[in-house]
Amino acid sequence: MQGLPGLRSQRLRSESHEFAPSIQAPDTHTIPVAGSGTEVRTRLRTAIKRTLRDAEANEHRLVRIEVPVPDLDPFRWLAAQQATEKMFWRGRHADDRMAACGVARILSGDSRPDFAELGREVDAFLDRPGADVRLFGGMRFDLDRIPEGEWFGFPAWRFALPRFELHHRGGKTGLCCNLVLPEDLPIASIILEQVEELQFSSDGAWGGLQVPTDRSDHPRFEGWKSQVQWSLDAFRRDLLQKVVLARRVDLRFAREPDPVELLHVLQAATPNCFHFLFDSGQAAFLGATPERLFFRRGREVISEAVAGTRPRGSTSDSDQAYRASLLASEKDQREHAYVREFIRTTLQACCDSVNVDETASEMKLAAGRHLVSRLSGTLREGVTDFDLLERLHPTPAVGGAPRELALEAISSLEDFERGWYAGPIGWVGRDSAEFAVGLRCGVLSGDVLSLFSGAGLVAGSDPGDEWLEIEQKITDFTRILGLAVSHRS
């Protein structure tokens, strides 16, 4: 097991996600390359003991201890860990990924937060002297809706600093331990025990994905048809311009699947997406979403309007025909325009200047394609990441227009709780942040995988076409599980 050179902190240099080395952040301690799992544990343990021994009892500080390691498979590493809580995040760029286990700090709540207060709390934590760290997490789609029951154990909102991270960035891989001082001083022995439990063997074989034994749809087609017809009537009466209605598909297996293995196979089948896993030990929320909500570096922010869908073709000619159909579709362009204008207006209220793609282009994915327009701007002083979250979410791509009436319709019509589906997920750091929209996703709870996906309805929508669009969206999951598209259920 050969080691790699020492890791240094990396910063995003451009929208294309190229990486450039930066000056080592204070209290980010890189120790020599480790040649084995035993060495990694020994060096982490030694550095943690020294850090906690030398820390002052009233010293508020963030410390990040890094051990450069070979480029371990993040999925096999994550699957081998015994920790109850696991996370995975990968941006669109393959050279920026993070697998994590355990938590060092959690901020969470069971109802709509005061976004300004939450922003101050997060800033106060991240601005502690020391290392530059990231909090990973997400929020419920509708923070104002009181859920009928617990959504698989996920709260309304939650952001966590991982205890241990295996990150790959800038062509280098490192195992990190994050320490929060002085809070971690009383639990030093527990942290050291967790170090001893870290696993580094990649010998274990995957069990292989199973074909589900049962499928149930919520709603079934007749119920879906009624929901679409209600929406079309609301459009005719000028009550709504657009509403995004979702379906939930439950797949049951003979034995409990491994969520890490499922994401491992899903990532290989879905390039150019954001890949994520939040596993609480009770349930795992995972997916491959194509849609960025926003990315911020310093005061610069970028966002995307994504709406309008076609599948990929089985031949070059059919693929080009689908592309031409999407770009020429008045209905899809109209659906897309609601999203672009909402984001434009929102950014104009937050930025000194905004640049907008006035003509939608194609976002090509492995199993589908969308219309996309990109927007960018320079944030005004004082505008925070949580200001952006509060103002941007939900966009008409997942809610509708007008926003409040569309949310009321969704709450009344859908027979399941969306939870984190279609909510903002991602990370926030001291000088940058990135959030995607939790789409093309599912929740694995025991032996049931619940898949969520939606379709944007506008005047002219057809129930059968919109059903099939959702089926095509969940094929990222169903095709790796060996299932065919269901035209009716």
The predicted structure's pLDDT at residue 149: 77
Q: Which amino acid is at 450?
A: S
**138: how many CB neighbours lie within 10 A of its CB?**
24
User: Judging by beta carbons within 10 Å of its beta carbon (0-12, 13-18, 19+), is residue 414 exposed, middle or buried?
Assistant: middle
304 near 434, Cβ under 8 Å? no
The alpha-carbon radius of gyration of the chain (Å, integer) is 23
Q: No. of H helices and E strands in the chain? A: 12, 23
Q: Is 52 helix (H, G, I), strand (E, B) or coil?
A: helix
Q: How far apart are CA 37 and CA 43, in angstroms?
A: 10
CATH topology for the 214-478 domain: Anthranilate synthase (3.60.120)
| Token duo for residue 401 | 């227009």
Q: Which helix (H) or strand (E) holds 263?
A: helix 259-269
Query: Which residues lie below 8 Å from residue 237, measured CB to CB, with a gap of 6+?
Result: none
pLDDT of the chain along its 489 residues, tens only? Answer: 333 222 223 222 333 333 232 334 567 776 666 668 888 999 999 999 999 999 888 889 999 999 998 878 999 999 999 989 999 999 987 678 999 999 999 999 999 999 999 999 999 999 999 999 999 999 999 999 877 778 999 999 999 999 999 998 888 899 999 999 999 999 999 999 999 999 987 666 687 899 999 999 999 999 999 999 999 999 999 999 999 999 999 999 999 999 999 999 999 999 999 999 999 999 999 999 999 999 999 999 999 999 999 999 999 999 999 999 999 999 999 999 999 999 999 999 999 999 999 999 999 998 899 999 999 999 999 999 999 999 999 999 999 999 999 999 999 999 999 999 999 999 999 999 999 999 999 999 999 999 999 999 999 999 999 999 999 999 999 999 988 777 665
The CA-based angle 376-378-381, given to 5 degrees, is: 145
Q: Is 73 helix (H, G, I), strand (E, B) or coil?
A: coil
| Token duo for residue 147 | 């859920």
Q: How far apart are CA 279 and CA 100, in angstroms?
A: 10
* Nearest-10 Cα torsion for 147, 150, 155, 160: -160
| Comma-separated ranges of CATH 3.60.120.10 domains in the chain | 214-478
| Token duo for residue 282 | 């009770």
The predicted structure's pLDDT at residue 328: 96
Q: How far apart are CA 306 and CA 427, in angstroms?
A: 20
68 near 34, Cβ under 8 Å? yes
Query: Which residues lie below 8 Å from residue 186, measured CB to CB, with a gap of 6+?
Result: none
Strand partners, 33: none
Q: Which amino acid is at 262?
A: L
**DSSP labels, 275-299:** EEEEE-SS-EEEEEE--EEEEEETT
138 near 434, Cβ under 8 Å? no
The predicted structure's pLDDT at residue 21: 29
| Token duo for residue 442 | 């599912």
Q: Is 151 helix (H, G, I), strand (E, B) or coil?
A: strand
pTM, two decimals, is 0.92
Among residues 263, 87, 79, the alpha carbon closest in space to that of 161 is found at 87
Q: CA 52, 56, 58, 59 torsion: positive or negative?
A: negative
295 near 375, Cβ under 8 Å? no
Strand partners, 250: 216, 450
The predicted structure's pLDDT at residue 287: 97
175 near 42, Cβ under 8 Å? no
User: Judging by beta carbons within 10 Å of its beta carbon (0-12, 13-18, 19+), is residue 134 exposed, middle or buried?
Assistant: buried
Beta strand pairing call for 61-68 and 28-30: parallel
Q: CA 416, 422, 423, 428 torsion: positive or negative?
A: positive
The predicted structure's pLDDT at residue 37: 84
The predicted structure's pLDDT at residue 33: 63
Q: How far apart are CA 167 and CA 66, in angstroms?
A: 10
| Token duo for residue 82 | 């015994």
